[in-house]
Structure formats: structure tokens, C-alpha cells
Chain A
Amino acid sequence: MQKALVIDPVKCTGCKQCELACSYVKEGEFNPAKSRIRVFDFHQDARFVPYTCTQCAEAWCQSACPVDAITTNERGVKEVHDALCVGCKVCTIACPFGTVNYNASTGKVIKCDECGGDPACVKACPTQAIVYVDVEQAGFEKMKHWAKRTDAGAQASH
């Protein structure tokens, strides 16, 4: 059964533990700027929205990569291979969600890879605003809906 990160912004309190956990696990430092997940803070509306890659079925980042540095693993997750990534950043402009980012200190791009099936953000979240569940569950479909609307053809609707 494939699993996916499902985010329920209503449950998010904006504590940003997910950002710290992510950057620590992926970069070895507590640096939200290098986190693969980002909490958007709409304090005027008292809303917080954790935001990261939805692992599109057919991903723009992957098809735009000129050197095969982004592949799909057995869990459907799009992974960046640092040894192949040349840092051209085409994926960062091709991803209409803005969830592939350039890391200037390594010259490579970074994106969520669900920590190999054990996402650190999920473990760090105290309110279960981020959970890791079977893809069939509700919530994921909502994100797919957004993916569809951005399509130049029929890419993310598969």
C-alpha cells in the first residue's frame, strides 16, 4: 500500500517543529531555510499551512530534468540524486507548486523525499496536522485537485 503525507492545516498550530526536524534530518542543522516542508503563517487569519511536495504521479520536475537526476522510487516518491544533479534549477521553475528549491550551499536542488518512508516532520508534529497514511485516504485527493488545475495537458490527473 502506498503512503502519502497528508496535511490538515486546520490542526496546525504554527510551532514549526516540522521545519526544524526536516532540516536537521536532511541537512544536519536546525535551519528552516533548508527544510523541505514550510509552514506558511497567516497570522492575521490565525491560520497556518504546512506545505511540501505532493509527489505528483507524473511530475513536472522529473520530466523537466535534463540529466535524469530525479527518479521515482518504489513508493512513488520523486527523489533527487545529488551525484547527477547539476544545479540547473529547471525543476524549480517547472514545479508549479514551488516545492523544489535550490540549495545554494550545495549547488543542488532539494525536495521532500518522505525520509525514505519514515518522515521526520510527521514524528515531530505534536498535533497530527501532518500524517503519513495510505494514499486512498481523503485529503490527498484535494491536493491532486490543485495539481490538475495547473496542468498544461493531463499530467497530474493520472
Chain B
Amino acid sequence: MHHVILGAGPAGVLAAETLRKQDTNAKITILGAEDEPPYSRMAIPYLLSGQIDEEGTYLRQDAGHYKNHGIEVTRARAGALDAKHKKIALEDGGEVQYDRLLIATGASPVRPPVEGLDLPGVHSCWTLEDARAILDLAQKGDHVVLMGAGFIGSIILEALVSRGVKLSAVEKEDRMVPRMMDQTASGMLKRWWEEHGVNVLTGTQIKQITRGEDRLDVSLSSGKSLRAKLVVVAAGVASNTGFLKGSGVDTDAGVKVDGFLRTSANHVYAAGDVAQAKDFSTGEFSVLAIQPVAADHGRIAAQNMAGRETPHRGSLNMNVLAALGLVSSSFGAWDGIKGGDNAAMCDADAYRYLRLEFDGDRLAGVQAVGFTDHIGVARGLIETKLRLGRWKDVLMKSPERLAEAYVACAQGIR
């Protein structure tokens, strides 16, 4: 049995390790497109802030890990897939025969149609190569413009601020992290960053970037312009599905998969940022490009590839964001469900906010700013659909008693 995994990110690596646990004899090959050991994009901000070196971003710290587990990691970019004959052509020539294939090719940054994004000094922040360029350009006191203050942009934001640059963050939507937090929470975040010296421009678009003599000029929809040594583009990502055109593997926003992470082609599975899989909260199939989902997908897809039928019941959307000491997170249906109750507590001066969303007497979603203790219970309560009973009334009055409610219900103290 030859398992071939396209992609060396968390989904691919977790899948390879799970396959090895399930089958000691199978041949397992990871094909990664970048010339690096498998690493974590999520760790790049910490490389930029100087907390870790490049090795610190590696998904496995033991250099012999893959060899010791009989996992071959090869640099190759997938070309065309021939699912009928179970082979994948490589971009550099040659082909690989598989028995089971996992598509874990991840996502790539979206480049909005803005003139000047191809100029020197304009970079995405997605790969280690991008990080090296940013490390070189973003020195203390330099003017830097960040295009996009969504989740990824906001993570990069902290890293850039910690490098001591003079930062402007430009977000076209009316608030920061619009797909992670509501107006109240993102308003707090904006105020926090402004207090830390960041120029946050929401509801503003970058119209054009031009190259001056020793700097970039960034023209804004407000009519103003910013100067910058570096522009970092964080305008979203899109699944890497292009190579599947004409392969018979159905794609939409990502690779379409069923409740077992199988694609429309026999013996082909998908996981991680490239997979359009079930969302626990909505029941719909959508791309949830986050680390814990990649890990869950990788593990579940691998079990199915190894013949151990494992349903994927849906992944929970969840995010955690650090902003120089201010931690925020959101889980599931954080913006509420139709007909559901909600409870919120807010202390704007103290940068504390907690909003709970209910479906009947079950927890459906959470947003938290400034609350970190036992915050994982939000996932536990949402995913177990634990009935809160009278604890719902407690939480309606005191949302901050969330962990207590979880422990009580789990212990039968009702």
C-alpha cells in the first residue's frame, strides 16, 4: 500500500503519522512544494518577532522524525492528477503512483486587483521565504503598511509591532477581524492597537501602490496616502485546487469532501485548508483554514485511508488572537443563531468582553476578549451539545461562569 500525501503542512504531517500508527508496513510519501522541512505557517509571526529561529517553526523538532517513522518527505509540486490510473504527474516531470492519495495542498494568499502589488517591497506573509524578506525590510523605525486586518493580518500585526516599526493597518471592511468578532470586540481591539501606536484605518481600501525614489507610496480610498518601506499583504487566502482542473475531483471553494473526507474521486481524500468539509456549527460544507481543523482533518482522513472508517462529524471554527497582552478568541456560532438567546458582559475600560450564544439550553458560540482561563471549555460545551439546564440561567446573568457551568454539568451538579 502506497499512501501519497500532497502537502507538508500540519494536515499532511498529522496524516502521515496517523497512517504509520495504523499500518506499520505501508509506504508513506509526503510531497511538499517548498524547499524546507515541514513547518508551520502559524509560527511565522513568532519568527518575525524574534522569539524563535527558523528551526522553531518546524512541525517536528527531531530532525530524524520522518526517517524514523518511515515517512519519505520529498520536494515536488503536484501537476495533473489522473485519478483513474491512480497517478499524479509532478510539475518538474515524472509521476508518482499511489494507492491512496491525500490532497493537503493548503491555501495561498489572495492578491487583490490593486496596481503595484508586484513591486519590490510588497510581500505576502505566508511562507518562510516571505518571512525572510520581511525580516530584512522591517527594521526598527521603518514605515510599514499592512494590507488587511483580518485574522491573519492581525496576527502579523503583533509581530510587526514587536519589531518596532511604524505601522499602519488598512482594512477595507468596517472593522478588524470581521469574520472572527463582532463590532464590540473588534472595536476594543482597534482601540487597543491605537493605544499601542498603530494607525488602524478600517473601512479604507488601498487603491494603488507606486514606487517613489526610496519608498513606496500607498494611495488610499480616503484620498490620503501613506509612505512605506514595506507593504505586507494579508488580504485573505484561497485553497490550492488549481492543479485539479479536469481531474474529476470536484472543487468549489475548496476540494469537496463527504462525511469521511473522501473526494469525488475513488481513493482520493482531502484535508486542511484545501478541504471544503463540514462545519460543525452550520452543518454546511465550507473551508475552515485554521490549524486545529487541519490537525483533525489530517488524522481523520488518514484513518479512513488506512481502512479504519472514521466519520468526520464537522469541525468547529475557532480562533485565538494575541495583541501584545490582549488575548481574544471566538468559537462556533459566535454571531448567534436564529432564535437563540445570548448573554454578554462588557467592561470596555478593562478590555474585557464575553459574549455567549445559545441554541435552546446548549452553548452554540463564544467570543472572548481578555478572558483566557479554561477558555477551551467553550469548545467542549459546544461540541458535546451538553444541555445546560439551570446553568443556562446562571450564564445568562453571569457569562464569566462558563468553566464552572461546564464542570458542573459534566459532574451532574444540576
A interface residue numbers (CB < 8 A to B) = 9, 33, 38, 40, 42, 45, 47, 49, 51, 58, 60, 63-64, 66-68, 84, 86-90, 92-102, 104, 146, 149-155
Q: Contacts A60-B292, A66-B43, A89-B327 known; A152 to B383 CB distance under 8 Å?
A: yes
Cβ of B176 within 8 Å of any chain A Cβ, yes or no, is: no
- Contact status B331-A98, CB under 8 Å: no
Q: Contacts A64-B292, A87-B322, A152-B280 known; A95 to B376 CB distance under 8 Å?
A: yes
Bound-state Cα–Cα, A47 to B412, Å: 11
Q: Contacts A40-B407, A152-B316 known; A84 to B372 CB distance under 8 Å?
A: no
Place the interface of chain B in its size category: 35 or more
Bound-state Cα–Cα, A145 to B314, Å: 20
B interface residue numbers (CB < 8 A to A) = 10, 14, 40, 42-43, 46, 51-52, 56-61, 280, 291-292, 295-296, 299-300, 303, 310-316, 318-320, 322, 325, 327, 329, 331, 372-380, 383-384, 386, 403-404, 406-408, 410-411, 413
User: Which A residue sits closest to B404, measured CB to CB?
Assistant: A40
Bound-state Cα–Cα, A33 to B403, Å: 14
Sorted nearest first, the 6 A-B pairs with minimum C-beta distance are A98-B374, A96-B380, A66-B40, A98-B377, A98-B376, A86-B46
- Contact status A88-B376, CB under 8 Å: no
Output the least CB separation between A39 and chain B (Å). Answer: 10
Bound-state Cα–Cα, A58 to B14, Å: 12
Q: Contacts A40-B407, A64-B291, A152-B300 known; A92 to B380 CB distance under 8 Å?
A: no
Most buried by B among A42, A58, A150: A150
Residues of B within 8 A of A153 (CB): 296, 299-300, 303, 310-313
Bound-state Cα–Cα, A152 to B406, Å: 18
A-B residue pairs in contact (CB < 8 Å), sample of 20:
A49-B411, A63-B296, A67-B46, A67-B58, A68-B58, A86-B46, A88-B46, A88-B320, A88-B322, A90-B291, A94-B295, A94-B318, A95-B376, A97-B377, A98-B378, A104-B325, A104-B372, A152-B316, A153-B299, A154-B303
Bound-state Cα–Cα, A47 to B409, Å: 13
Residues of A within 8 A of B406 (CB): 98
Bound-state Cα–Cα, A101 to B43, Å: 19
Bound-state Cα–Cα, A52 to B241, Å: 42
Besides A66-B291, A96-B376, 19 more A-B contacts (Cβ < 8 Å) are A42-B408, A49-B407, A67-B40, A67-B52, A86-B56, A87-B322, A88-B42, A89-B372, A90-B291, A93-B319, A93-B379, A94-B292, A97-B377, A98-B376, A100-B376, A101-B373, A102-B372, A146-B410, A153-B296
Residues of B within 8 A of A47 (CB): 411, 413
Output the least CB separation between B219 and chain A (Å). Answer: 34
Residues of A within 8 A of B373 (CB): 33, 98, 101
Most buried by A among B52, B296, B327, B408: B296
- Contact status A102-B327, CB under 8 Å: yes
- Contact status B313-A152, CB under 8 Å: yes
Output the least CB separation between A89 and chain B (Å). Answer: 5
Most buried by A among B292, B375, B408: B292
Residues of B within 8 A of A95 (CB): 376, 379
User: Which B residue sits closest to A109, measured CB to CB?
Assistant: B372
Residues of A within 8 A of B325 (CB): 104
Residues of A within 8 A of B329 (CB): 89, 93
- Contact status B316-A67, CB under 8 Å: no
Bound-state Cα–Cα, A149 to B410, Å: 11
Output the least CB separation between B401 and chain A (Å). Answer: 10
User: Which A residue sits closest to B322, measured CB to CB?
Assistant: A89
Q: Contacts A68-B60, A86-B52, A149-B384 known; A38 to B374 CB distance under 8 Å?
A: yes
Bound-state Cα–Cα, A58 to B58, Å: 20
Residues of A within 8 A of B312 (CB): 152-153
- Contact status A96-B383, CB under 8 Å: yes
Bound-state Cα–Cα, A149 to B380, Å: 9
Residues of A within 8 A of B379 (CB): 93-96, 150
Residues of B within 8 A of A154 (CB): 300, 303, 310
- Contact status B376-A93, CB under 8 Å: yes
- Contact status B299-A155, CB under 8 Å: yes
User: Which A residue sits closest to B329, measured CB to CB?
Assistant: A93
Bound-state Cα–Cα, A98 to B380, Å: 8
Bound-state Cα–Cα, A60 to B14, Å: 12
- Contact status A152-B376, CB under 8 Å: no
Bound-state Cα–Cα, A140 to B51, Å: 38
Residues of B within 8 A of A146 (CB): 384, 410
Bound-state Cα–Cα, A152 to B325, Å: 31
Bound-state Cα–Cα, A152 to B331, Å: 15
User: Which B residue sits closest to A68, measured CB to CB?
Assistant: B61
Bound-state Cα–Cα, A6 to B14, Å: 30
Output the least CB separation between B406 and chain A (Å). Answer: 7
